[in-house]
Structure 1
Amino acid sequence: MATADDDGRRRSRWTRLAVPVLTGTAMILIVSAIGYSATTGTGRSSPPVLPSAAAPVCDQPPTLALVRPGGGPITFPQVSYAIDHSGGRPRIDLAGSYQGVIDEGKRVAVIVRGEPGSYDSAAGGHPGEGRFYYQREIQVDEQAGCWTALSLSPALSLSPAYHGPDGPLWHIYLVLVPADFAVTSVSARGHVEDAVFGSLEVLADFLVGG
């Protein structure tokens, strides 16, 4: 027959067994809850999104050109221009952003061609001559990723000369040239032979005017 002492001993034994079991079970439930939270995203903060590199902000003329990339080590994501007709002959300002590195001993030059199928607004109209004329090298700000080519004078690319207040279409090329290009490959009037132009690496081209 069981006595009160026997009941007390059994309860004590069950208590000693139950406490570690319950403690272990609680730990398992806590670990499981943490694992579930990690897999479902509950209570987990998202990793920070790294900002993308900011595009260069450059001072630019008001009219955006439609640029056709030509390939090569330098690209021109954006080109803008302005045409000043106040002096009787047009002056063109170009500016924009660029990406890449201009190698030592190289320059980026502006070459202009008056489109033969377009005319100025003078009586009878002077058509684009269809020849290539060197203008100048672009000026670059390497830190900002910006460039300019100001006060270009494309009138020589018309035949016989520009007279009207409005211009034809000018095809403008940004080309990679040797540093001595203006001395060795350009005539006194700025003309660049077709064969010479054909040997150059065109980085970008676009139309201006019209």
Structure 2
Amino acid sequence: MASGRIDLLHSPIPENTIYLTFNGLGSNENGLRGIGSGKQVVLRRGSVRRQATVRFRENGESFTNDLEMNAKLASSLRLRANYRYLVDYDAKTNILSFVPSPISSATAKLQIDSKIGANRLQIGYELLSTLGIPESRSLSIVCQSPAASKSLQVSTPSNLFDRSFSLDSASLRALRLTPGSNVAISYNQNTKVLTLKPSTPRAAPKSP
């Protein structure tokens, strides 16, 4: 059984074909490559099944694994564009199954940045990709801390490898978070809520 998490993309490709692109920058999660290019498989989401041919593109300059699918085929399988799924391939049955995987997690260090403006959250591209947050200039999400919640507009710096996580000082105060502290972050694609929880670093082991 081969498996991996993918971001599903709608693409103007033949309806009976899907394309997989593995990340060239993130974790090496390409167990699905063993399917083999040109392999005809059965796509399954719940009780719905469709047939398609698997193709591969060159590894992309991204931190995610992407699966392109014709919008009509995706609709018949109830698969949404720009959403994350856990994909399992069973070589015995030749079935490629899809299960929603909307929650992604990471850790970050909270920073203050007065230049980003009020009610804004700046997330580096690498961290944005890890969390499954779509890149959009007009995107607003709800940031939720243990003490409060606040709607913030998301922006992304141009540096591809940026992992920064910055808020303006007023937003940090509203969420009752401490600048410079480490936080555990999780993003739910269904609710569009970004949950922030203070993360206590593990103590270094004592010397004998």
TM range (shorter): under 0.3
Larger Rg: 1
* TM-score normalised by length of structure 2: 0.27
- 1 or 2, which has the higher helix percentage? 1
- 1 or 2, which has the higher strand percentage? 2
